[in-house]
């Protein structure tokens, strides 16, 4: 039942992979107009700096394997701030509709009578491909892109065969899979994907310090372990990744100018 007091609005905004110049114009305007900003742990300081000085900023965590605010707490906090009449921005890395729990948050807020807008963002797979010079689909090599995560609800391991990830013409973009690489590779190989299939792990996709770690499906776990990444990693598996240019990083990040007052 809708609350009977005046409410503000909540925008569920995709911050992209990290660099401020990969924000959409709509996302930039939402951040610049925010009165309360609830942001995930991977949001860069240059993006946070775009919010008004008087904006209430609250970090919610949300980084794999680390302590974070419970989803129920985040929902209630957004609701309380909106009911205070504030323009609330819930800032999420990448695109909020890709492993960002946007469905849960939108449903909760709308059930309680709060207006919600979703603002899309550049997801890590797209940022990685653009930055390291390879396509996600390519005629004759990849006719399908599968975006997946290493686990499903309840922590069950991803069954690659159910999703068609073993198809040689599928580019697999695997989020939150750094600690599951060997198990994922073993399963894909058992399902018929050659161990020699090109693959790449990209650390900090979209950032100026991004690192591309090329390998093959069979060797990816060992190569990634030797590289010892400390930032967020996306795994991309498929023939198109052989086109990656890992000697240089394309497109250094810069802070976008604020819109004119």
21-25, 184-188, 189-193, 255-259: which has the minimum mean pLDDT?
Answer: 255-259
Q: Tell me if residue 59 falls in helix, strand or coil.
A: strand
Please tell me the predicted confidence (pLDDT) of residue 165.
Answer: 78
Q: Which residues contact 145 (CB under 8 A, 6 or more apart)?
A: 125, 136, 137, 170, 171, 173
Please state the domain count of the chain.
2
Are 114 and 150 part of one and the same domain?
Answer: no
The DSSP result for 152-207, as a single string, is -GGGPBP-HHHHTTT-TTEEEEEES-GGGHHHHHHHHHHTT--TT-EEEEEESTTS
- Evaluate whether residue 255 is within a structural domain: no
Give the domain-ending residue among 69, 88, 119: 119
Higher pLDDT, 213 or 1: 213
- Evaluate whether residue 79 is within a structural domain: yes
Please tell me the predicted confidence (pLDDT) of residue 164.
Answer: 72
226-238 pLDDT, tens digit each: 999 999 999 999 9
| CA-wise closest residue to 242 among 144, 133, 146, 165 | 133
CB 7, CB 79: distance < 8 Å? no
96-107 pLDDT, tens digit each: 999 989 999 999
95-154 pLDDT, tens digit each: 999 998 999 999 999 999 999 999 999 999 999 999 999 999 999 999 999 999 876 544
Are 218 and 187 part of one and the same domain?
Answer: yes
- Evaluate whether residue 187 is within a structural domain: yes
Are 208 and 230 part of one and the same domain?
Answer: yes
Beta-carbon-side half-sphere exposure of residue 94 (alpha carbons within 13 Å): 24
Residue with tokens 């890709």: 98
Residue with tokens 């000085």: 53
- Evaluate whether residue 212 is within a structural domain: yes
| CA-wise closest residue to 155 among 124, 176, 136, 140 | 176
The tokens of 253 are what?
A: 């990040």
Catalytic sites, residue numbers = 40, 62, 176
Please tell me the predicted confidence (pLDDT) of residue 259.
Answer: 41
CB 188, CB 167: distance < 8 Å? no
CA separation for the pair 29, 50 (Å, rounded): 9
Are 107 and 139 part of one and the same domain?
Answer: no
Domain hosting 142: range is 124-243
27-31, 45-49, 83-87, 255-259: which has the minimum mean pLDDT?
Answer: 255-259
150-200 pLDDT, tens digit each: 765 444 555 554 557 788 999 999 998 888 899 999 989 998 999 999 999
Are 128 and 239 part of one and the same domain?
Answer: yes
Which pTM value belongs to this model? 0.85
CB 91, CB 58: distance < 8 Å? no
């Amino acid at each position: 039942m809708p609350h009977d007091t005046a409410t503000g609005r909540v925008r569920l905004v995709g911050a992209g992979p990290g660099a401020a110049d990969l924000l959409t114009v709509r996302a930039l305007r939402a951040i610049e107009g925010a009165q309360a900003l609830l942001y995930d742990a991977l949001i860069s300081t240059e993006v946070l700096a775009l919010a008004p000085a008087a904006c209430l900023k609250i970090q919610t965590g949300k980084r794999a394997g680390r302590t974070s605010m419970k989803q129920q707490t985040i929902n209630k906090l957004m609701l309380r701030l909106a009911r205070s009449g504030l323009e609330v921005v819930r800032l999420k890395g990448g695109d909020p509709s890709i492993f960002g729990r946007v469905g849960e948050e939108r449903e909760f807020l709308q059930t309680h009578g709060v207006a919600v807008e979703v603002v899309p963002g550049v997801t890590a797979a797209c940022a990685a491909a653009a930055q390291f010079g390879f396509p996600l689909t390519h005629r004759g090599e990849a006719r399908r892109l599968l975006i997946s995560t290493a686990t499903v609800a309840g922590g069950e391991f991803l069954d690659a065969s159910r999703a068609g990830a073993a198809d040689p013409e599928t580019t697999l973009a695997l989020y939150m899979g750094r600690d599951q690489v060997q198990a994922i590779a073993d399963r894909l190989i058992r399902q018929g994907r050659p161990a020699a299939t090109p693959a790449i792990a990209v650390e900090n996709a979209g950032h100026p310090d991004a690192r591309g770690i090329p390998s093959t499906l069979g060797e990816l776990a060992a190569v990634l372990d030797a590289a010892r990444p400390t930032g967020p990693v996306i795994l991309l598996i498929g023939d198109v990744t052989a086109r990656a240019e890992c000697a240089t990083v394309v497109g250094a990040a810069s802070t976008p100018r604020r819109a004119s007052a």
